[in-house]
Amino acid sequence: MEKIERVTVSEFAKMAGVSRKTIYKRLVTDLSPYCHQGDSGKVLDIKALELFGVTQGNTKVTERLQEGDSNLTAVLQGANSYNDTVVDVLKEQLNTMQKNLDILHEELKDKNEQIRGLTKALDQQQYLHRVEQQKVMALEIKKEDVAVEERPQELRPSELTPIKKTSKKRPKKGKSSLWFVKNSR
């Protein structure tokens, strides 16, 4: 018959890497099958360390841990492979985004050049329009000057001579009955 090694609650807590309080709380649940009354108080079977993931030379526990380690290693390798794939995809997306950004910067640069060219053309057009407007105004002023010179001169009062009206009616008081006509000199 195999001898089962037993330790006190304090020693068990140290081996499991937890506090005594934790051990006492678990004595009523999953540790109860491993708990016995010893000479100096409660003692626990070393096999109970399996519940805490600790091995003490027990071959079954060691085999389970090794099996778990190989599974964990496979999972970690799979996770690393997945992470590498994700990183590669993210790098590719970043490269694509950078290329798109470079293309957009180039298009923006071209559009700015177009705007500068159009602005320059518009400025020139406005300048030519202003010059044309000034020429039209100058021609209108000259045309008005020529029209003024061709107009008959206004008659001055000194050039007018009074003549008598030949009307049969008598003029009313205070109103002149004379018409003024240009002197014929």
pLDDT one-digit tens code per residue, 84-120? 888 888 998 999 999 999 999 999 999 999 999 999 9
pTM over 0.85: no
* CB 46 within 8 Å of CB 57: no
Distance CA 58, CA 62 (A): 6
Write the single-letter amino acid at 127: Y
pLDDT over 60 at 56, yes or no: no
Q: Mean pLDDT, to the nearest integer, of 21-32? A: 88
* CB 9 within 8 Å of CB 23: yes
Q: Look up residue 175 and give its two tokens.
A: 């109103």
3-state secondary structure at position 38: strand
Distance CA 97, CA 50 (A): 52
More confident residue, 121 or 153: 121
Write the single-letter amino acid at 10: S
User: Would you give the DSSP letter of residue 40?
Assistant: T
Predicted confidence band at 74 (pLDDT cuts at 50, 70, 90)? confident
Please give the C-alpha separations between residue 71 and each of 53, 54, 57, 67, 78, in angstroms, as whole numbers: 15, 18, 21, 6, 10
Average pLDDT of the chain, as a whole number: 77
More confident residue, 147 or 57: 147
pLDDT over 80 at 32, yes or no: yes
Contacts for 97 with CB less than 8 Å, ≥ 6 apart: none
* CB 169 within 8 Å of CB 145: no
Q: Mean pLDDT, to the nearest integer, of 39-50? A: 86
pLDDT for 161: 62
pLDDT over 70 at 166, yes or no: no
CB atoms within 10 A of CB 34: 20
pLDDT for 84: 83
**CA trace torsion 155, 160, 162, 163 (10° rounding):** -80
